Amino acid sequence: MLQISAVIITHNEEKRIGMALETRSIADEILVVDSGSTDGTRGIVERYGARFIHHDWQGYAKQKNFAASQAKYDWILSLDADEALSPELASEIQQIKINGTGDAVGFLMPRLARYQGRWIRHSGWYPDCKLRLYDRRRGSWTGNYVHEQVTVDGPVQMLKGDLLHITCDSLEEHLRTLDRYTSLAAQESCDSGKRSVLPMLLAGPPWKFFETYILRRGFADGFPGFVISVMAGVYVFVKYTKLWELVHGKKHNKT
């Protein structure tokens, strides 16, 4: 039978880590790599019988690659602390353990997000397919800042069951997340040489709202869909404002 290590990276996740740890029902090992939590994360992890390792933060992709390198088994099920397997997805993975992977070196799965208490099936958030089950001998995480992903060398198959993602329960939490990710995205754009800021500051936010709410049918997700669409526009505005500050800050430093 195929053996799988469930791997989770954490930092102060005591409120959400429990659902990811429920993968013990199908994983042969659960490994948590923590970057210095000061809450009760470690105690919860150890109560579930998972292995806990401290490793200083290196960035999302590097942290996840380190975590995979420490796993006992070559097949990695990589989860975030706010994710869980739906019963359908858990059943599919159990069948893979029994029947084998065939020629696949990785498996994609649709991710279904819950936002402000509602499952979001439009707004560009679904199916949001993620490659989370993979052979570490044939794949690794890539991406220096945000939007890290697993890149594999070989065939990939698609699973049907949903990976459940429990996102923000409040606007305050959403704003904190937006602030963190826009900083990373702006730095990534700056480092890649992107300098054209004004057009995106002017046209980007309204277009992103229109795309999310109308073209991606955010209206079908009710009021949460409207909030998601507004915040998508805000994300673009804040990202390019931060990029402007980085670009002009560098110019001032040179003078």
- pTM here? 0.90
Give long-range contacts, CB 8 A cutoff, 24+ apart: 62-65. 62/141, 63/9, 63/33, 63/35, 64/7, 64/9, 64/141, 64/148, 65/140, 65/141
pLDDT at position 253 is 55
Structure tokens at 185: 């995205």
Convert the pLDDT of each residue in 86-118 to its tens digit.
999 999 999 999 999 999 999 999 999 999 999
Q: Note whether 182 and 235 are within 8 A (CB).
A: yes
Q: Note whether 150 and 141 are within 8 A (CB).
A: yes
Q: What percent of the chain has pLDDT over 70?
A: 98
Q: pLDDT at residue 164 above 80?
A: yes
Q: What percent of the chain has pLDDT over 90?
A: 84
DSSP state letter for 213: I
Convert the pLDDT of each residue in 56-78 to its tens digit.
999 999 999 999 999 999 999 99
Q: pLDDT at residue 255 above 80?
A: no
Q: Sketch the domain layout of the chain as residue ranges.
A: 4-166, 171-254
Q: Note whether 212 and 153 are within 8 A (CB).
A: no
CATH number at 4-166: 3.90.550.10
Of 171 and 195, the one with more pLDDT: 171
Q: pLDDT at residue 21 above 90?
A: yes
Distances (CA, A) of 101 to 23, 104, 109, 135, 232: 19, 6, 15, 10, 37
Which residue type, as a one-letter code, is found at position 229?
S
Separation of alpha carbons 228 and 33, rounded Å: 31
- The neighbour count for residue 28, using CB atoms within 10 Å, is 16
